[in-house]
Chain A
Amino acid sequence: MAAAVPAVCWVSAAAALLLGCCGAALASSVQDQAEQFFRSGHTNNWAVLVCTSRFWFNYRHVANTLSVYRSVKRLGIPDSHIVLMLADDMACNPRNPKPATVFSHKNMELNVYGDDVEVDYRSYEVTVENFLRVLTGRIPPSTPRSKRLLSDDRSNILIYMTGHGGNGFLKFQDSEEITNVELADAFEQMWQKRRYNELLFIIDTCQGASMYERFYSPNIMALASSQVGEDSLSHQPDLGIGVHLMDRYTFYVLEFLEEIHPASQTNMNDLFQVCPKSLCVSTPGHRTDLFQRDPQNVLITDFFGSVRKVEITTETISLDSDFAGFESKLPKDELATEPLKYAEQLPVAQIIHQKPKQKDWHPPGGFILGLWALIIMVFFKTYGIKHMKHIF
């Protein structure tokens, strides 16, 4: 009797252990599957960072954009995959007391300009038209590759915009605006051509939430620094430089990003908590209804970094090193090429001794004709037509 009970206990203990093991194995396979399912399917990352304001007192917008640029580069996105648009040059601005620097912390702690900044669209090239051309891909064929957004259907794109904005628009260069409708249409054009897998849109302007109200394409997540009717405020002025160095929202986002490293597992929900009203004075907003995955499962590095999916190569092919098939290819390379030489860059002798070119005479056109006709008409109006006989 006494032996039976421990035997039963032992059996039940063994059964429990077995179940436990099975459970653990099942749980790990379920977890693998879950991991599999919630991972984003992207293979490359792009970033489009736009600063839309010019003039020295908008220093903070350039500093905002450069901070995000710096974080994105640090986390792994290479320059070839970043389109950086800065509407004005602060580092070499004549009013900059510390040339070749752009600071983001007061007391000049952090120079975000660095020495490997690659600006793709600078100064007057930052226009609404160029921005939309970059997004939609309708670029003239002569554009260099660094100015193109060559994303495909497996690209996650980060779009960060900053500047002065209002309800439904963002001001570019103090002379034009982009409306939220145009932006939403541009994203729809991108979706139609499958130029992105997932898109994260961050905007740091006054009334920034109005810019993402009109989005209607799938797989877009948007963050803004303030709601409609609120202003986004700047962070801290630096008395040595004389302007405000950063905007609050981007300042706190930068602090948040400084803690992220390429292998971190922080997700988007943490990014949504950055800069609450007590710190930011404005209320940051976000929009996730168009996004397929739960923000809980979206890693920060899915957009800000470039973590590639890798697979171990297990297959090889076997090559025959004595393959004689290539012998026949050699004659093709034996074209005799004549030695190349440079064209005369500056034919000095020709320039010094040339005679002035005979310019063909063209009859006066347009403005000159009109001016003379006006003068003659006024003359005859004043003095009467009878004076014509003195001319002819």
Chain B
Amino acid sequence: ASAQFQLAVPVAVVFTPGSVPGDLPRPLPFRDVQEMEFSVNLRTSITSRYETVYRSSTAQEEAALDVATAREADAALHPLQDASLGSLTVYMVPETSSLLPQGISVYVGKHRSALVRAGGSLAALRTRLQQLTQVMSFTASSIAAALSDRVPNGQLGPDVRRHLKSSLGYEITFSLLNPDPKSHAVDWDIEDAVNRYVQPVLDKLSLVANFSVDSQILYYAVLGVTPRFDKESSSFLLSAHSLPHVINPVEARLGSSAASLYPVLNFLLYVPERSHSPLYIQDKDGAPVSTNAFHSPRWGGIMVYNVEVPASSQASLPLHVDVDMVRVMEVFLAQLRLLFGLSREELPPEFLLESPGNEGLADWELDRLLWAHTVENIATVSTTLTSLAQLLDKIGNIVIKDDVASEVYRAVASAQSAMAKLATGHLHSAFQASKEAVTSSERAFFDPSLLHLLYFPDDQKFAIYIPLFLPMAVPILLSLAKIVREARQHKKEPTKMD
């Protein structure tokens, strides 16, 4: 189905005194709209509109910027900004300002603002702005990845379309694997860790979907691969190419599919056996991985937690192990971000990103997720309804129940409203509308009454009824013919009666 998306991003560029470039076309304040179009395939295109307002700073903003570090400035500026989802505010600071460290030209804060070092002409400013919006809102490739089933094969690599699909809910399961309970009595305070560290992140993500969390401990669950002993480091190593085979034997024990129909994300913490300690994961070049963890797209992540070998070998077994949940959660939450597609790896060199702290992700990262999910939802609704219409065209005598019809109408209305809101820059309501549209369209498409088996195709009708009625019909037709012949004969001869 064809779809032309218009994504509008409201951007405000605030000039502090001393940062105004010399060659502005008009005096401040003024508006500017930049549009860029790129097409995903013949019938799907995305137009991004950056509606930029250039203005000078207010006294409050200048006071907020009059602090020592960029982080404090970001915190002070937060209440003064436009807090709606999808919008960006860029503060230009003078070239000589000490807010930004040496060598850094752009500082991206935790919320929806950035500090940019002014320098030079309007053209340079525009380039910076473009780089910034690419990082903070969406890029052509992030939207194309959301529309991955419309991209012609070969354009996106097979690795790109691996982020979690947009769904109404996700279930997260934390599992502790203890293959050697005789040697290690492992204790992990998962409830406290979930409340402290995981819940804030999930609260931030609650806008995107419903999350439910559970945890379990599995004993005598072993990895599918035997690690190699490395004499130089006197430790055991798992090489990168054996990692794919680790997950399968464990997966059968995880019980991950019993509970709900939402996609499940599994985070496993593996405490190696005493005979295989310490265990390190090697990457492709043979170097040990600092996090000692790996993840699988759309599945979850595994981290190996090594227990320190006690100094005296006469320590009584089992050793009591108290898991350091901070270290573990740092890795698991980073893996959660990666599974959702929030990566901080590819950045232009002079950018500095503020760490989001315990919230797990910055507001603008949430926006990135919402842009991608909204577009994905709308595209899914369009594909689903089109294929439903095609199914109904093909099978002429299918019966559409009233509630299926009302779901279809609701899906269409919500999708149109979502597209309209995207075009005006209201990301929050666009996302909500797209979620409603997806729910309705899925309910309509997967309605159990739409099974085409239940409806007679025409050739089956002939095949069933002809052998039944043809033999019966022969004597009836013959006798009808006889009656007609007799009537005609009777009419032809005048009455023979005297």
Contacts and interface: CB of A to CB of B under 8 A. Distances in A.
Contacts of B296: 43, 308-311
Nearest to A127: B453
Interface string B150-194: 000100011101100100000000000000000000000000000
Contact of B158 (A39, A138, A316): A39
A194 B149 contact: yes
Contact of B390 (A138, A152, A192): A192
A315 interface: yes
Given A36-B157, A310-B243, A326-B200, A317 B355 contact: yes
Nearest to A194: B149
B383 A319 contact: no
Main secondary structure, interface of A, reads loop
B453 A326 contact: no
A111 interface: no
Contacts of B199: 326, 329
A193 B445 contact: yes
A309 B453 contact: no
Interface string A131-150: 01100111110000110101
Given A36-B157, A136-B451, A138-B451, A316 B291 contact: yes
B345 interface: yes
A315 B248 contact: no
A140 B448 contact: yes
A78 B453 contact: no
From A263, A310, A314, A323, residue with most partner B Cβ within 10 Å: A310
Interface stretch (B7-15, B297-305, B466-474, B489-497): B297-305
Interface string B278-302: 0001010000011101111111010
A132 B281 contact: no
Given A193-B387, A311-B294, A311-B297, A325 B158 contact: no
B283 A41 contact: no
B299 A313 contact: no
B306 to A, nearest CB: 16
Interface string A153-192: 1100000000000000000000000000010010001001
Contacts of B337: 315, 317
A132 B446 contact: no
Given A43-B296, A310-B296, 9 more contacts: A37-B158, A76-B245, A193-B387, A309-B159, A315-B343, A315-B344, A316-B291, A316-B330, A321-B196
Which 5 A-B pairs give the minimum distances between C-beta atoms? A41-B158, A192-B387, A76-B248, A80-B257, A78-B252
Interface of B: 148-149, 153, 157-159, 161-162, 165, 195-197, 199-200, 224, 240, 243-245, 247-249, 251-252, 256-258, 260-261, 281, 283, 289-291, 293-299, 301, 303, 326, 329-331, 333-335, 337-338, 343-345, 355-358, 360, 383-384, 387, 390-391, 394, 445-448, 450-454
21 contacts: A36-B157, A36-B158, A36-B159, A41-B158, A138-B448, A140-B448, A192-B391, A193-B383, A193-B387, A263-B245, A305-B248, A308-B247, A308-B296, A315-B344, A316-B291, A317-B333, A319-B326, A319-B358, A320-B358, A321-B326, A323-B357
